[in-house]
Amino acid sequence: MQTETVHALWLHRSQSLSLPELVALTGITESEIHELVDAGALLPANPQALPWTFSADCVVTVRTANRLRHDLELDSHAVALALTLLSQIRALESELAQLRARQPVFSRF
């Protein structure tokens, strides 16, 4: 039986990542990240400041964008639209869960 070593990195959402760190954590190229920023799918912490930095949340966004791009063969603008729609769905699901939690539970007897 072979043992496989897995590396994990715990990121806090308030942590900032440089562009090279984001590239290393996501496996996509700097030019692909620039395309995502240009398409509006990804937003640097301060777009006017160079070099760019990104919040740790961007790792999930970039990995999702990469899967959408490769699995569905989407261009950068379609990926940006899909990410926006997924974000809106998550927000609506969260709001619905909060509303359901406030709703009184009626038992049927």
pLDDT tens figures, 59-99: 989 999 999 999 999 988 999 999 999 999 999 999 999 99
Question: Both tokens of residue 70?
Answer: 């490769």
63 DSSP 8-state letter: H
Q: What is the pLDDT of residue 67?
A: 92
Query: Comparing C-alpha atoms, which of 17, 10, 8 is closest to residue 58?
Result: 17
Q: What is the pLDDT of residue 62?
A: 92
pLDDT bin (cut points 50, 70, 90) of residue 102 is: confident
Quick one: which H or E segment has residue 68? helix 58-71
pTM greater than 0.85? no
Instruction: List the domains of the chain with CATH numbers.
Output: 16-101 (1.10.1660.10)
pLDDT tens figures, 15-70: 889 999 999 988 889 999 999 998 888 889 888 888 999 998 899 899 999 999 99
State the distance between the two ends of the chain, measured CA to CA, in whole angstroms.
56
